[in-house]
């Protein structure tokens, strides 16, 4: 108890450091604690953000180089080599790059496996990649059916490395701690005031350290503002690295939707005209018969599968309608006999209960008659015994006679 009182006296005692104002020790200790709390979480934020951003920085040069090379190849494919199978003009040199998407995928696979942060999301992203079906003389392309931000989300990559929700609320927490200590110091100062007659005692202690009681609020506000100024740019750089990573992944593996894949399977109708037919025949000859005719068999199989699926669906619906129509009659036929037996059992049970109730009423009446006759017979016996008893004779119980007998001398 004495140690607690001494500690309390130490906390409420006013002290001055470096020639400053008189400030309670509680405010000095609270301000020092707020500064330590601020510095500790600032170093943790810097460490967490740096460790989370480091994998993005290691992969960015490789992804940027692959994306730039992929862009150059795509521009060449859509300009100078728009028609697949035609030889380039004589005055145009053949492209020096023979880039293969599978090689890029293998390179990116090795880099992703070396980074623990991307290992699990990359395994899921690889399942969304599809290989384009092209003739044997054309290099296949790799496309993605999902966007990169659907797999490499912020929660998946950063939630278990940087607690962004906590750091965003830390300035409010620091400000609240400073205000709490300020109000506690004011409470201590006001607790010293008391009225002694017409005088107020203790006002000197409140006024002397009043300015210093706001020290914790000032330190808390300064720390909160500094943390906000430092935290927001760091988080912004981390988010920018994440968005740049997603953009490079989407650039390496363009997204192909279901509509685009169906559009490639749909044959393009040829226009009427001699020149168009001639050019079409020349192109078919150049390709060696490996044009849209190669899609005839897959389209026929797809149409057959669709017809089979449609017929199966119609048969299933017809069976369901037939069962629905026949179900009431089947239920009625199946449950008629059990329901009749159940009704008969209920009727027999009701009759048995009624007979039992009637029999019980008759037994009750007979018992009541027997009891009345027995009561009458007992009354007659008492009356007859009273008439035939000798005059002056009284009936005493044995216990009474024994108790009233006196002992002889």
Domain ranges of the chain: 7-80+99-264, 304-366
Q: Does 33 have pLDDT greater than 60? A: yes
Q: Give per-residue pLDDT as tens, 326-383.
A: 888 888 888 888 888 888 889 889 898 988 989 989 999 999 999 998 988 888 888 8
Q: What is the mean pLDDT of residues 262-275?
A: 52
Q: Does 98 have pLDDT greater than 60? A: no
When pLDDT is cut at 50, 70 and 90, the band that residue 21 belongs to is low
Q: Are strands 142-144 and 129-131 parallel, antiparallel or unpaired?
A: antiparallel
Report the predicted TM-score, pTM, of the whole model to 2 decimal places: 0.53
Distance CA 21, CA 31 (A): 15
Q: Give per-residue pLDDT as tens, 396-408.
A: 454 544 444 455 4
For the CA atoms of 20, 24, 30, 31, the dihedral, rounded to the nearest 10 degrees, stands at: -10
The DSSP line for 22-91 is -EEHHHHHHHHHHHHHHHHHHHHHHHHHHHHHHHHHHHHHHHHHHHHHHHHHHHHHHTTT-STTPPPPTT
Q: Give per-residue pLDDT as tens, 251-261.
A: 888 877 666 66
Angle at 321 between CA 315 and CA 326, to 5 degrees: 125
- Percent of the chain's residues with pLDDT above 90: 16
Q: Does 132 have pLDDT greater than 80? A: no
Distance CA 240, CA 118 (A): 17
Q: Give per-residue pLDDT as tens, 55-91.
A: 999 999 988 888 888 766 666 555 544 444 444 444 4
Map tokens 């659907």 to a residue. Answer: 150
Note the pLDDT of residue 3: 65
**Inter-residue contact 375 to 382 (CB < 8 Å):** no
Q: Which residues pair with 196 in a beta bridge?
A: 199
């Amino acid at each position: 108890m004495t140690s607690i009182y001494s500690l309390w006296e130490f906390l409420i005692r006013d002290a001055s450091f470096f020639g400053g104002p008189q400030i309670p020790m509680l405010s000095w200790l609270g301000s020092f604690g707020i500064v330590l709390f601020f510095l500790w979480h600032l170093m943790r934020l810097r460490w967490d953000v740096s460790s989370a951003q480091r994998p993005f920085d290691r992969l960015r040069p490789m992804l940027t180089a692959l994306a730039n090379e992929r862009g150059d190849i795509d521009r060449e494919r859509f300009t100078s080599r728009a028609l697949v199978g035609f030889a380039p003009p004589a005055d145009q040199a053949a492209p020096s790059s023979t880039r293969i998407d599978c090689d890029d995928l293998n390179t990116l696979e090795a880099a992703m496996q070396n980074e623990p942060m991307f290992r699990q999301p990359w395994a899921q992203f690889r399942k969304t990649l599809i290989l384009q079906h092209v003739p044997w003389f054309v290099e296949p392309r790799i496309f993605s059916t999902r966007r990169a931000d659907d797999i490499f989300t912020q929660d998946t990559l950063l939630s278990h490395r940087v607690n962004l929700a906590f750091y965003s609320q830390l300035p409010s927490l620091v400000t609240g701690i400073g205000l709490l200590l300020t109000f506690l110091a004011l409470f201590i100062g006001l607790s010293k005031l008391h009225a002694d007659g017409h005088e107020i005692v203790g006002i000197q202690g409140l006024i002397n350290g009043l300015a210093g009681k706001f020290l914790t609020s000032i330190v808390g506000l300064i720390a909160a503002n500094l943390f906000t100024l430092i935290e927001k740019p760091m988080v912004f750089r981390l988010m920018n690295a994440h968005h740049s990573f997603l953009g490079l992944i989407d650039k390496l593996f363009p997204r192909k939707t279901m509509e685009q894949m169906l559009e490639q399977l749909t044959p393009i109708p040829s226009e009427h005209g001699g020149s168009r037919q001639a050019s079409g025949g020349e192109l078919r000859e150049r390709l060696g018969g490996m044009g849209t005719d190669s899609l005839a068999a897959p389209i026929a199989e797809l149409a057959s599968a669709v017809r089979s699926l449609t017929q199966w669906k119609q048969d299933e619906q017809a069976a369901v309608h037939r069962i629905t129509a026949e179900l009431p009659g089947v239920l009625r036929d199946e449950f008629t006999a059990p329901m009749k037996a159940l009704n008969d059992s209920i009727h027999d049970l009701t009759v048995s209960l009624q007979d039992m109730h009637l029999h019980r009423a008759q037994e009750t009446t007979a018992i009541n008659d027997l009891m009345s006759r027995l009561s009458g017979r007992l009354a007659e016996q008492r009356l007859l015994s009273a008439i035939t008893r000798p005059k002056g004779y009284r009936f005493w119980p044995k216990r009474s006679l024994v108790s009233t007998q006196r002992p002889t001398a």
